Amino acid sequence: MKLPWYFLRNSPEEERIRKLKGLGLFKELSVRELRELDELLHARSYQKDEVIFDEGDAGLGLFIVVSGRVRIVSSHAALKRLAPEFGPGDYFGELALFEESKRTGGALALEPTQVLALFRTEFFSLLERDRRIGVKILYELSRTVIARSRRLLASEAHLPTL
Amino acid sequence: MKYEAQPGALTWAINVAVTCLLLYLFERILWLVIPALLALVGYYCLKPLVQVLVRTGLKQRTAGKVVAIVLFLATCLAVIVLLSVATTRGTAWKAEAVHYLQGGLNFVRMTEASLQKRMPELKTSALVQSTPTDLNVATKQFVENYLGKLLLQAVSWLPSLLLMPYLTYALLQDGNRFKKHLIHSVPNAFFEKTLLLFNRVDGSLRSFLMGLIKLACLDTIFLGLGLWLLGISHPLLLGLMAAVLAWIPVLGSVVACLIVVIVAATDLPNDLVTTYCCILLFLCVRLLDDFVFMPLTVGRSLRIHPVLSVLMLFLGAEVAGPAGLCLVLPVLGLVAVVTEMLVQILGDEHLRKRYYHARQLERVTT
């Protein structure tokens, strides 16, 4: 149900919300939930060949590609072979959202790239306030993690696929 | 197990020096520091309300406006009610204040008399001779020497205190946007660590200020309950006053204890035991505060060694007087968090290299 103050919306914010709605990770979120999430997202711009993060860095959050391309470079054999690339709508560094561990690979901008960063502690504060948003994001995240794990396992000849 | 490097002696020396410098500056702009601190308390208290409104579908800025308007109206209402009560009951309050002062003086005289019985040499002591016997003369002296200055000071503080609701409104509406803009100006290489720094500062400030509010509530409940059991009038009001005064380290507690003793001595003039019980109750609550409530509420947020805390209290009082006493610990706590993170960010060679690489890329592009 729309509340009486619905007409008070301004366009730049609505434009941002519309773009967020178009991202796969947030597709299940309502406008109201996206508005709450928007407060926590940080927009960053990277030049071609600029390092976003390095392998071994402390993982503090996840990055969503808005425009441009990002390649993951790693010393781990499986990741090295796959050398995954991410384009608009994709996200990477998602494991940092679950635990405070070191990055298993580095991220490099292949062309001028714009990303949105979601910081772990801010995401946790959102989870405490509104679990429904958290459940929706975590469901999408776990689907991606499973899909990526399958791909990794499939690339390892001696391991069975899940 | 995670290992975090502890700040060394040099870092702590820098922390102490920066804290003293900040206190010196704060004392010069106290008219802005006090409303800003109150606004921060208001911001942390009202932020959940803004988030609730956002969840109903309101935009962040509109929700901030709605809450600020409600706060403003509530403040106006409180001022109107207070003024109307003050004008109708002003004379009665004055009489009551004199009555309580007289009660306090009687208590001092009775204690002196009982002490003199046991120790006759006290008869000639300066304390005994300096105690006023006629309250009217003492009141007249007070009015002539201090009341005018006190009233003038109180009036001069009014405009700056009016800043508080406005600053709260600004923080509620644009606090997050301001934080995002600040972080946006940080180079990419230091972005994640800076975000962590902001988060820690925000967390420390919030837990300290909210801890103070929780501590005041606990103090009010325990003191109020104790005073009610002892049969003292206005126990909740006295408890609240003592709890708020306790925000001023050392001095605040002494003043609060004096007020409670004066009220107790006036309510029960011939019952010295109850008055002493009030002092005992006060001491018990202070001990509970220092060893149980404080570590549970405020203490965790600061992470400062007790010895350093005491030393800093003296240093704060020396540098900035009573304001320094109140502000020294939270300022030191914040400075410690900031320096710790700055050392981590700027001391990281890896991040510096990444920053210089990005600068080189920028030069090549332009």
Which among A3, A50, A60 has the least Cβ separation from residue B192? A60
Note whether B263 and B232 are within 8 A (CB).
yes
Task: Give domain limits for chain B.
Answer: 58-149
Question: Residue B187: what pLDDT?
Answer: 92
Distance of CA B362 to the CA centre of its chain: 47
Note whether B22 and B331 are within 8 A (CB).
yes
How many whole angstroms separate alpha carbon B108 and alpha carbon B312? 34
Q: What percent of chain A has pLDDT over 90?
A: 28
Nearest residue on chain A to B176, alpha-carbon basis: A39
A72-105 confidence digits (pLDDT tens): 988 887 777 777 889 999 999 888 888 888 888 8
How many whole angstroms separate alpha carbon A20 and alpha carbon A9? 16
How many whole angstroms separate alpha carbon A103 and alpha carbon A125? 22
Looking at the DSSP assignment, which residues form a beta bridge with residue A67? A114
Query: Residues with Cβ < 8 Å from B94, sequence gap 6 or more?
Result: none
pLDDT over threshold 90, residue A68: yes
Question: Residue A160: what pLDDT?
Answer: 45
Q: Which residue's entry shows tokens 């993170």?
A: B341
Note whether B204 and B334 are within 8 A (CB).
yes
Is B56 within 8 Å of A3 when comparing Cβ atoms?
yes
B30-53 confidence digits (pLDDT tens): 888 888 888 888 898 888 888 888
Which among A3, A50, A130 has the least Cβ separation from residue B188? A50
How many whole angstroms separate alpha carbon B264 and alpha carbon B274? 7
Note whether B219 and B294 are within 8 A (CB).
no
Alpha helix (H) residue ranges in chain B = 9-28, 30-55, 60-118, 126-130, 135-142, 148-161, 163-184, 191-230, 235-245, 251-267, 272-288, 294, 300-302, 306-346, 349-365
Query: Residues with Cβ < 8 Å from B192, sequence gap 6 or more?
Result: A53, A57, A58, A60, A61, A117, A119
Note whether A32 and B53 are within 8 A (CB).
no
Question: Does residue B363 belong to the interface with chain A, where contact is any CB pair within 8 Å?
Answer: no
Sorted by where each starts, the structural domains of chain A and their CATH numbers stand as 12-155 (2.60.120.10)
Mean pLDDT of B244-250: 78
Structure tokens at A6: 């619905």
Q: How would residue B334 be classed by pLDDT, with cut points 50, 70 and 90?
A: confident
Mean pLDDT of B90-100: 78
Question: Residue A46: what pLDDT?
Answer: 94
Structure tokens at B236: 């909740």
- φ, ψ of residue A92 to 5 degrees: the values are -145, 165
Question: Residue B215: what pLDDT?
Answer: 86
Question: Residue B135: what pLDDT?
Answer: 58
Which among B58, B191, B362 has the least Cβ separation from residue A44? B191
B252-309 confidence digits (pLDDT tens): 888 888 888 888 888 888 788 888 888 899 888 888 887 777 766 665 556 677 778 7
pLDDT over threshold 90, residue B247: no
A129-149 confidence digits (pLDDT tens): 888 888 999 999 998 888 888
Rounded to 10 degrees, the C-alpha dihedral B251/B255/B256/B257 comes to: 100
DSSP string, B137-187: HHHHHHIIIIIHHHHHHHHHHHHHHTHHHHHHHHHHHHHHHHHHHHHHTS-
Q: How would residue B134 be classed by pLDDT, with cut points 50, 70 and 90?
A: low
Is A5 within 8 Å of B62 when comparing Cβ atoms?
yes
Q: In what order do the strands lie in the sheet with A51-53?
A: A51-53, A106-109, A70-73, A85-86
How many whole angstroms separate alpha carbon B54 and alpha carbon B42? 18
How many whole angstroms separate alpha carbon A92 and alpha carbon A7? 36
Note whether B87 and A32 are within 8 A (CB).
no
Structure tokens at A25: 């990770």
Average pLDDT, chain B: 81
Rounded to 10 degrees, the C-alpha dihedral B202/B206/B208/B209 comes to: 130
Element (DSSP H or E) covering residue A106: strand A106-109
Question: Residue B123: what pLDDT?
Answer: 62
* Nearest to B358, CA basis, from A44, A101, A68: A44
How many whole angstroms separate alpha carbon A144 and alpha carbon B141? 79
Is A42 within 8 Å of B191 when comparing Cβ atoms?
yes
b/e burial code for range B23-58 (CB count within 10 A of at least 16 → b):
beebbeebeebbbbbbbbbbbbebbebbbebbbebb
Q: How would residue A10 be classed by pLDDT, with cut points 50, 70 and 90?
A: low
Q: How would residue B77 be classed by pLDDT, with cut points 50, 70 and 90?
A: confident
Amino acid present at A131: R
Query: Which of B192, B195, B207 to mutate against chain A (most A CBs within 10 Å)?
Result: B192
pLDDT over threshold 80, residue B331: yes
Structure tokens at A159: 């391991």
Chain A residue numbers touching B55 (CB-CB < 8 A): 32, 36, 130
Which among A2, A8, A122 has the least Cβ separation from residue B62? A8
> DSSP 3-state helix, strand, coil percentages of chain A (rounded to 5)?
45, 25, 35
Q: How would residue B71 be classed by pLDDT, with cut points 50, 70 and 90?
A: confident
* Nearest to A66, CA basis, from A19, A15, A111, A106: A19
Mean pLDDT of B316-344: 85
Is B199 within 8 Å of A122 when comparing Cβ atoms?
yes
Q: In what order do the strands lie in the sheet with A41-46?
A: A41-46, A113-119, A61-67, A91-92
Question: Residue A159: what pLDDT?
Answer: 46
Chain B residue numbers touching A32 (CB-CB < 8 A): 54-57
Note whether A86 and A70 are within 8 A (CB).
yes
B211-242 confidence digits (pLDDT tens): 888 888 998 999 999 999 988 888 999 999 98
Residues 76-115, chain A, touching B (beta carbon < 8 A): none
Distance of CA B123 to the CA centre of its chain: 41
- φ, ψ of residue A101 to 5 degrees: the values are -130, 175
Structure tokens at B55: 């969840």
Q: Count Cβ atoms below 10 Å from residue B18 Cβ, excluding itself.
A: 17
Is B199 within 8 Å of A121 when comparing Cβ atoms?
yes
Q: Which residue has the higher pLDDT, B201 or B153?
A: B201
At what angle are helices B191-230 and B163-184 packed, to 10 degrees?
Answer: 150
Q: Which residue has the higher pLDDT, B70 or B307?
A: B70
Q: What percent of chain B has pLDDT over 90?
A: 8
Question: Residue B22: what pLDDT?
Answer: 93
Which among A46, A48, A121 has the least Cβ separation from residue B188? A46
Question: Residue B143: what pLDDT?
Answer: 65
For residue B134, the 8-state DSSP code is: -
pLDDT over threshold 60, residue A9: no
Question: Residue B2: what pLDDT?
Answer: 44
How many residues are there in chain B? 366
pLDDT over threshold 90, residue A52: yes
